[in-house]
Amino acid sequence: MQIPWRANCFAVYGGTSNSVTDSLCADVVTYPGIFVDQEFTSHPFSGTTSITRDTILRSGGVMYGTQWGALTVSGHDSAPAITGVVVNDVDIESATYSGLFFIGPTAIDSLSLTSVTVDAAGTYGIAVDPTASGSATATDVVVTSPGTAGMSNGASTAWTFNRQSGDTGW
């Protein structure tokens, strides 16, 4: 998908065993390229939500006062924690703001990030909003040439990264 305005290339709003696989997203003007979000009183996430072998180019932007990341996981509604999200083999290039963005207030638990590259993000390779809570395990997550810094964790006490081998640049 290319050049959606006020939308995402791909969005998952709750449900069971979702996947966004082998996809290309480019030039999203105001929102994340891939958006995993508990919102609109949707069914809670269950099973595995798989974001696999995707490329996100020039995505993320400002909408509703938020600087969205190219790939965003958002717990917007007050609901059970978001669980079972697996991000594997994803390339993010030239994000408008952050490459990866996590925002609450609903907890995001046991997120898995493996073989994710973020190159030339406008601000941070990885950004965690102060409203976020939860945890992520990161393996081979590489951030290169961010505009501001490799990572900003605004929820430092409520968000934990379990860093594994191969994580660099953040």
pLDDT for residue 40:
80
33 vs 80, residue with greater confidence: 33
pLDDT for residue 156:
82
- Residues 38, 58: Cα–Cα separation, whole Å: 24
Q: Say which DSSP state 43 is in.
A: P
| Phi-psi map region of 58: left, alpha, beta (phi>0 left; psi -120 to 50 alpha) | left
CB 134 within 8 A of CB 161: no
pLDDT for residue 2:
55
- The mean per-residue pLDDT over the stretch 6-14 comes to 86
pLDDT confidence of 4, banded at 50, 70, 90? Answer: low
Torsion angle of the four alpha carbons 81, 82, 83, 86, in this order, in degrees rounded to the nearest 10: -160
- Residues 65, 50: Cα–Cα separation, whole Å: 28
Q: Is the pLDDT of residue 10 over 60?
A: yes
- With 0-12 / 13-18 / 19 or more C-beta atoms within 10 angstroms meaning exposed / middle / buried, residue 30 is middle
Residue 94 token pair = 């030239």
User: Whole-structure pTM over 0.85, yes or no?
Assistant: yes
Amino acid at 152: S
State the chain's mean pLDDT as an integer.
Answer: 93
Nearest to 45 by CA among 9, 81, 88: 81
- Residues 75, 149: Cα–Cα separation, whole Å: 24
* pLDDT one-digit tens code per residue, 88-119: 999 999 999 999 999 999 899 989 999 999 99
